[in-house]
Amino acid sequence: MHRASDQALVAGAIVEVEAYIGESDPACHAAPGPTPRNAPLYGPPGISYVYLNYGMHYLLNAVTEPEGSPAAVLIRAIAPLEGLETMRRRRGGRARVPDDAALARGPGNLGRAFGLTLRQNQLDLVASRLGIEDWGLSMAPVSWGPRIGIRVGVDRPWRCWVTGHPAVSGRPGTAVVP
DNA sequence: GAATGGATTGTCT
DNA sequence: GACAATCCATTCA
Concatenate the DSSP letters of all residues of A34-81 into one string: --TTTGGGGS-SSBEEEEEETTTEEEEEEE-S-TTS-EEEEEEEEEEE
The pLDDT value given to residue A139: 78
**How many CA atoms does the CB half-sphere of A140 hold within 13 Å?**
16
Q: Which amino acid is at A42?
A: Y
Q: Comparing C-alpha atoms, which of A98, A127, A103, A101 is closest to residue A114?
A: A103
Query: What is the C-alpha radius of gyration for chain A, rounded to an integer number of angstroms?
Result: 15
pLDDT tops 80 at residue A97: no
Q: Is the pTM of this model over 0.85?
A: yes
Q: Nearest nucleotide (C1') to the CA of residue A36?
A: C9
How far is the C-alpha of A131 from the C-alpha of A169, rounded, in Å?
A: 22
Q: Nearest nucleotide, C1' to the C-alpha of A37?
A: C9
- pLDDT (0 to 100) of residue A92: 74
CA of A54 to C1' of C3 (A): 14
Spacing of A22 CA from C11 C1' in Å: 22
Mean pLDDT of A113-120: 93
Predicted confidence (pLDDT) per residue in A63-89, tens digit: 999 999 999 999 999 999 999 999 998
Does A140 have pLDDT greater than 90?
A: no
- pLDDT of A137 reads 79
pLDDT at A10 over 90: yes
How does pLDDT run across A18-52, given as a tens digit for each residue? Answer: 999 999 999 999 999 999 899 999 999 999 999 99
- The answer to whether A47 touches A38, Cβ cutoff 8 Å, is no
Confidence of residue A94 (pLDDT cuts 50, 70, 90): very low
Once rounded to an integer, what is the mean pLDDT over residues A81-100?
80
C-beta within 7 A of nucleic chain C, residues 88-117 of A = none
Cα-based angle A121, A123, A126 (whole degrees, multiple of 5): 145
> Which position has the higher pLDDT, A97 or A15?
A15
What is the distance in angstroms measured between the alpha-carbon CA of A158 and the sugar C1' of B7? 12
Label residue A9 by pLDDT band (50, 70, 90): very high
The answer to whether A19 and A26 are in contact (CB under 8 A) is: no
Q: What is the pLDDT of residues A43-57, one digit of tens each?
A: 999 999 999 999 999
For residue A37, give every residue at least 6 positions away whose Cβ sits within 8 Å of its Cβ, in sequence order, or none.
Answer: A29, A51
Q: Which nucleotide, over all strands, has the C1' atom closest to the CA of A94?
A: B10
CA of A32 to C1' of C4 (A): 29
